[in-house]
Amino acid sequence: MADSSWLEIFRGYSNEELLAKLAELKQCVSAFSSQNAGTKGFTTDLNALKEQLSSATRVASERGLITVTRPKETRVFVTDFSQNG
């Protein structure tokens, strides 16, 4: 979900900065929330990354820099003939 504070921040970016940040965020998002390298440990807040990515994507979409496709909804209509007698 896009965060209003991140939306405000990303709206201040130039188009080039925004696209670069989007690419960076996409590389950072992974299934791993922590990683150990020798004696050092690193933890990533995946929710914070998702909020930033969602906000940056929304701003880029508002500017027409990217196209966001959403799954199509399936609609079912049922006709009721019970009143026709």
Tally the domains of the chain: 1
Confidence of residue 30 (pLDDT cuts 50, 70, 90): low
Q: What confidence score (pLDDT) does residue 11 get?
A: 96
Residue 65, Cβ density class (10 Å: 0-12 exposed, 13-18 middle, ≥19 buried): middle
Torsion, Cα of 52, 54, 58, 59 (10° steps): 10
Report residue 13 CA to chain centroid gap: 17
Range of the domain at 33: 1-85
Which residue shows structure tokens 């150990």? 36
- pTM, rounded to two decimals: 0.67
CA distance 62 to 75: 27
Q: What confidence score (pLDDT) does residue 27 get?
A: 86
Strands (E), 1-85: 34-37, 40-43
